[in-house]
């Protein structure tokens, strides 16, 4: 009996979450990063088709590792892709798909891991027949950059939920993907209703990310700030209306409690939005409070706090890269 070859996984988008996934999954399965061009940092270029990813496992207790990962441009990928993780920023998803469209097979599984909401809906509209899944995670992940090196850091242990978005995805099991992530050391659970998990995470991001960006502080410090204290109740109410209208009823007190809990649990973490601002990148505010604002406006629900936070963050962030 011939054994079938293990599946090869592909990751498109080497940000903090892409690095976190790569550093874990490369230990259990063959993996290829899809890049537009060879790594430019001398320390990262490990020669023909390989890249050095400098990885700091959780809490800094374990030593840094230099992981040698395979990478490829789209043109050089000769065989059909079974499973593709898209870990770009939410506003880069469409261009990421254009980049890989030619190598998507009929039964390629696409797993989206973006902050906020909106990009998932747009991809489902763009590729309605494809097997599209989404995952959301509370793992803490950062990138620390110096002139000639990038360090990917595992900043906090969290939980990942993964489940199908399109009908085509609902017809094919993704328990193997969930198992790969668990075997790789990420605590992952199948979510039959992944939209609910995405809405829950959206509410948490809406209540933490803009405050950290505006106050330029780690997550835990927002709780004592006047800006947060004056807005959190009304913001939670807006989010409760929006989430409930979307079919995921939540009380505003419950949303506020969760926001406070996550801010405390990830107190030392620099939110992804503040990381973007500090690195001079465009933020994901339009997929976070901007999404909640537009959604609420569309359905005649209250939205003034989400609108105000979106506009304030837009004012201090960079235009698109």
**Nearer of residues 208 and 232 to ligand KPL, judged by Cβ:** 208
Structural contact between residues 85 and 12, judged by C-beta atoms closer than 8 angstroms: yes
Q: How far apart are the first and last CA of the chain?
A: 51
Query: How far apart are CB 298 and ligand KPL at their closest, in Å?
Result: 24
**Nearer of residues 90 and 108 to ligand KPL, judged by Cβ:** 90
Return d(Cα 212, Cα 203) in angstroms, integer. Answer: 15
Site for ligand KPL in 181-220 (CB under 6 A): 204-205, 208-209, 219
**Nearer of residues 32 and 115 to ligand KPL, judged by Cβ:** 115
272 makes contact with ligand KPL (CB under 6 A): yes
Query: How far apart are CB 148 and ligand KPL at their closest, in Å?
Result: 26
β-bridge partners, 156: 140
166 is written with which tokens? 């399109």
**Nearer of residues 130 and 161 to ligand KPL, judged by Cβ:** 161
Q: Which residues of 24-54 are buried (b: 16+ CB within 10 A; e: fewer)?
A: bbbebeebbbbbeeebeeeebebeeebbbbb
Query: How far apart are CB 208 and ligand KPL at their closest, in Å?
Result: 4
- Integer-rounded Cα Rg, in Å, for the chain is 19
Site string for ligand KPL, 110-149 (x = CB under 6 A): -----x----------------------x-----------
Number of residues in contact with ligand KPL, rule: CB under 6 A?
12
Label the pairing between strands 50-56 and 65-72.
antiparallel
CB atoms under 10 Å from CB of 87, counted, come to 25
Site for ligand KPL in 248-267 (CB under 6 A): 262, 266
Could you list the residues that contact ligand KPL (CB under 6 A)? 115, 138, 204-205, 208-209, 219, 262, 266, 269, 271-272
């Amino acid at each position: 009996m011939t054994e079938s070859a293990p599946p090869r996984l592909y990751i498109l988008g080497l940000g903090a979450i892409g690095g976190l996934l790569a550093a874990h999954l490369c230990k259990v399965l063959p993996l290829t990063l899809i890049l537009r061009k060879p790594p430019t940092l001398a320390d990262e270029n490990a020669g023909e088709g390989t890249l050095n990813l400098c990885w700091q496992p959780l809490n800094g207790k374990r030593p840094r590792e230099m992981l040698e990962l395979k990478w490829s441009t789209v043109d050089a990928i000769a065989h059909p892709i079974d499973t593709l993780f898209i870990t770009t920023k939410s506003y880069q998803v469409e261009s990421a798909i254009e980049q890989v469209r030619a190598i998507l097979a009929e039964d390629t599984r696409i797993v989206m891991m973006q902050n906020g909401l909106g990009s998932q809906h747009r991809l489902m509209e763009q590729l309605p027949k494809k097997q599209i899944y989404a995952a959301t995670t509370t793992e803490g992940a950062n990138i620390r950059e110096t002139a000639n090196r990038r360090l990917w850091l595992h900043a906090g242990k969290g939980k990942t939920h993964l489940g199908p978005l399109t009908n085509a995805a609902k017809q094919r099991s993704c328990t193997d993907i969930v198992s790969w992530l668990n075997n790789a050391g990420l605590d992952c659970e199948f979510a039959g209703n992944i939209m609910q998990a995405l809405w829950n995470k959206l509410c948490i991001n809406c209540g933490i990310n803009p405050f950290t960006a505006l106050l330029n502080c780690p997550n835990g410090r927002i709780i004592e700030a006047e800006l947060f204290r004056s807005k959190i109740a009304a913001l939670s109410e807006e989010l409760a209306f929006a989430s409930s209208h979307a079919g995921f009823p939540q009380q505003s007190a419950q949303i506020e409690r969760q926001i406070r809990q996550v801010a405390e649990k990830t107190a030392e973490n620099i939110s992804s939005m503040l990381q973007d601002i500090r690195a001079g990148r465009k933020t994901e505010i339009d997929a976070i409070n901007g999404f909640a604002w537009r959604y609420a406006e569309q359905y005649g629900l209250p939205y003034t706090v989400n609108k105000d936070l979106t506009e304030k963050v837009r004012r201090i962030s960079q235009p698109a890269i």
